[in-house]
Amino acid sequence: MSFEYDLGTLALEFSPDGEPSRGRLTILNTDVGDDQTFGARVDLDSVKSVSSFVMEAQALFPEAFPEDDLTLRRAMNELGIRVADDARVREAKAEEGEAAEENAGVDTEEAEKLIADEGVLERYVEDMAQVHNVYGDRAEMKLVALGALSARLEPPSIDKPAGTNVILIGESGRGKNYIADSVSSGLPEAFVYKFESASAKSFYYQADADPERFKHTWVYPNEAEATDHLVETLRPLLSKGSASHKTVDTPSEGPSTFRELGIVGPITVTIPTTRNKLDGQFQTRMLITELEDFEGRVPEHSAQVSN
């Protein structure tokens, strides 16, 4: 498949060949004409590769791609974001398909019975702690698990999510991510959305490709910095269970068209971080708990690792 992207008078077409970010990119300035089209292989994830591509295009066709104009660099950056987002969507769909195959033989009656028995939260947390050799931290694991699973609750009324969002604070190396990873490992992959970084509108592009992607989903970034560009997206999702973004599509032919992108939740968020303050309005939607140290933790954790 290929990706087409327009910015101003620039038209770009990218055809991956193997890795999602690597392939042949063709660009032209529609104001100048097809006779000054430039094409070459490029890695959109590599600053060096992108810079080389831009400099070569400017050297060969200075009229079409002036050196003092940053439009080409911006267009390649935004194209790279879209290509990366599309790759993540495809990977998530493939994982969901694999998970569906794995769950095809599940005895639903037996599963319902296990969930209905009293103490299901304690059993789940203890099982995950045993699997991952977690010493202590059971209260924090329960809180993270409750936050994660509360994303599955139906809202009591329109625009009123029932889920709980958690900020897990602790010193570097304390085990914040290990606790969240342990909790997530026993959940169906479709329940959880993990990520390490994201652009400001990446959730909208993924929801546009898969409208069900964030419905009743636990969003788990590996650190607070991963959400810095997503605050404006996450705030309405946590407050009312949905978010929308108005944009304009500029096709290679025809007039620009208005379009509204939407995300359907509800979601819950758990953020492990060393920071004690995030965006003020965002933080008011979260429960904050500190992962404190306790006597004997280091030797007992070391013993678990040794075992």
CA dist list (Å): 12 to 32, 38, 71, 82, 116: 14, 10, 12, 12, 55
pLDDT at 8: 86
CB–CB of 188/124 below 8 Å?
no
**φ, ψ dihedrals at 243, nearest 5°:** -150, 155
CB–CB of 301/127 below 8 Å?
no
pLDDT at 300: 78
Taken in order of first residue, the domains within the chain and their CATH numbers are 3-82 (no CATH), 116-306 (3.40.50.300)
Per-residue pLDDT in tens (0 to 9) along the chain, 307 residues? 788 888 888 999 999 987 888 999 999 998 887 888 999 999 998 889 999 999 999 999 999 999 888 889 888 988 988 888 888 888 877 777 766 666 666 677 887 887 788 888 999 999 999 998 888 889 999 999 999 999 999 988 878 888 999 999 888 888 889 999 999 999 988 899 999 888 888 999 889 888 999 999 999 998 888 888 898 999 999 999 999 998 887 766 667 788 889 999 899 999 998 877 777 777 788 888 888 877 887 787 778 778 7
Residue with tokens 């040794």: 306
